Amino acid sequence: MVGTYTRIPMNSFKNTFAFTFVATLCITAAFSAGYLANAAHPASADLPVLHEAYNILRDNGLKPIPTAPSLEYGMIHGMTDSYGDPFTRFVEPPQHELETNSLQGKFGGIGVRLGNDTQGNYVLYPFPDGPAIKAGVQEGDRLLGVDDLVVASDTPVDTISAAIRGPVGDRVNLKVGRPPDYAPIEIKIKREEISLPTVTWHLDAGEPRLGVIEVNLIGETTPGEIRRAIENLQVRGAAAFALDLRNNGGGLLKEGINIARLFLRDGTVIFQEYRGQKTESYSVEKAGPLAGISLVVLVNENTASAAEIIAGSIQAHGRAKLIGATTYGKNTIQMVFDLQDGSSLHVTAAHWWIPNLEFPKDGHGLTPDLPVAASEPGKPDPVIAAAIQELMGMP
């Protein structure tokens, strides 16, 4: 589940209520990284059992104590697990970098897809006209290393992807083995900006007057992508539109609100409330550029968080009908704190609700106006069929 995120830079910690929590985390991390050996450190007084257990394991264990950052990460994972909130979590650097890239809609990369051969080795498939193919990478080259990272079949794919990515303009050194003998070859590649679109669109094959806009993630570029999709589909003859939020786990809070504003004329999108703070509201300041188009919204049990903000506010204002299955039901906001080593801490810090709408209710999410069961694999999509019926009045 992606979630609903408010990103918090390091220099604004003290401006948030979560500072105390994060400060405690920093003490704990330092404690685990080496200060455990010093019983006089304040953390040892705050966490005496942890300190005692560490010393016993260090002095009596058959295996050596894990080194930082493994030890720190394990302790932080344990802390967030014990916190008792499924959406408060610690994300290690490779995964955090990939999540950030997805939400930003772009990254510095070389234009390759990773795959596996029959022996489980990683192989490269360069994109046409991308930096990798221009530098000499060939389809089927076996990836042996990225800069200082030695790549083996058991290397996590997120670790490899994060190593390949980096600042636009910087160079990355790949070591590849080329069939048939797989002798090592070193290739230097200059990273370029690679787009990660969050929206795809098409005209329905059976009813070309229907434009389908599939939104898979709510990122920084998503509002603009939706507008471009509508414009492109209108030029191609679309008269009505289905905003497909099925299997969309959410994303950025601000962008979810801005997408809702595209389709609404006025009113409040959501209320939100952080611990110990006054309730805040986000409203529509002027009629959105897409407020007049003929629209339905498609949802299912995996539509969550920021995607539910969009669907729920559209439903609450009577702007369009929801078609599909009851949504996930996630009405909390996570603040994302970037930590000094490239990892991040996601802290559930607030909840939100939509005026005149009970959400979530009895542990459930948004109830569609037109409930429709999902299709079976290989069969026509009944949710799209219901959208055509609703918008076009056709069976």
Q: Are residues 50 and 177 in the same domain?
A: no
**Number of domains, the chain:** 3
Q: Are residues 278 and 343 in the same domain?
A: yes
- 3-state SS, residue 60: helix
pLDDT at 285: 95
pLDDT at 1: 56
Q: Which residues pair with 124 in a beta bridge?
A: 114
Radius of gyration (C-alpha) of the chain in whole angstroms: 25
Q: Tens of pLDDT along 294-323?
A: 999 999 999 999 999 999 999 999 999 999
Output the domain CATH number for residue 277. Answer: 3.90.226.10
Q: Tens of pLDDT along 40-68?
A: 344 556 889 988 999 999 999 999 998 88
Q: Are residues 370 and 254 in the same domain?
A: yes
Q: Using an 8 Å Cβ cutoff, are 355 and 268 in contact?
A: yes
Output the domain CATH number for residue 154. Answer: 2.30.42.10
pLDDT at 8: 61
Q: Tens of pLDDT along 243-266?
A: 999 999 999 999 999 999 999 999
Name the domain boundary from 152, 170, 195. Answer: 195
Q: Is residue 2 part of a domain?
A: no
| Confidence label for 376 from pLDDT (cuts 50, 70 and 90) | confident
Q: Are residues 255 and 366 in the same domain?
A: yes
Tell me which residue range forms the domain holding 388.
199-392
Kindly give the pairing relationship between strand 321-324 and strand 370-371: parallel
C-alpha–C-alpha distance, residues 13 and 169, integer Å: 31
Q: Are residues 219 and 189 in the same domain?
A: no
Q: Are residues 252 and 317 in the same domain?
A: yes
Q: Is residue 210 part of a domain?
A: yes
pLDDT at 11: 39
A 10 A CB-CB count for 198 gives 24
pLDDT at 154: 94
pLDDT at 45: 66
